[in-house]
Amino acid sequence: MERIANALGRERGDGSQVSLSPVAEKIAKHLGVRTEEVAILAISTRWRHLYFLVPEALKKVGFVPLSSNSALAARTARDSRPEIENNFASATHATVFEGV
């Protein structure tokens, strides 16, 4: 994952953008989940929130404040420490993202 992130961080010489959909598909296949269950987020340029890059349906729905105490993604970004959440489906999270 770190190699993918580093590659995405470098600007491509031809000016084209890297498609994250194939990355999400590979992650989903590896984890045995549906592609729409994989989210790739980015940190805003001012480090105040996370926003969705994948899935496409969540791009314009909203963002996750880095100050959120309940958001696993925000906590991971703040602490720079990965975490495995085995009960994520039953954990409380913003319903705005669930309805999409």
pLDDT digits (tens, 9 = 90+) for 67-85: 888 888 888 888 888 877 6
Residue 74 class from Cβ within 10 Å (0-12 exposed, 13-18 middle, 19+ buried)? buried
Dihedral (CA of 49, 71, 69, 81) sign: negative
% of the chain exceeding 70 in pLDDT = 66
Residue 69 lies in domain: 2-98
> Residue 71: exposed, middle, or buried by beta-carbon count in 10 A (0-12, 13-18, 19+)?
buried
- Closest by CA to 84, choosing from 97, 96, 75, 93, is 75
- pLDDT, residue 7, reads 65
Number of separate domains in the chain? 1
Question: Is the predicted pLDDT of residue 100 greater than 50, yes or no?
Answer: no
The reported pLDDT for the residue numbered 10 is: 61
**Banded pLDDT at 61 (limits 50, 70, 90):** confident
pLDDT for position 19: 81
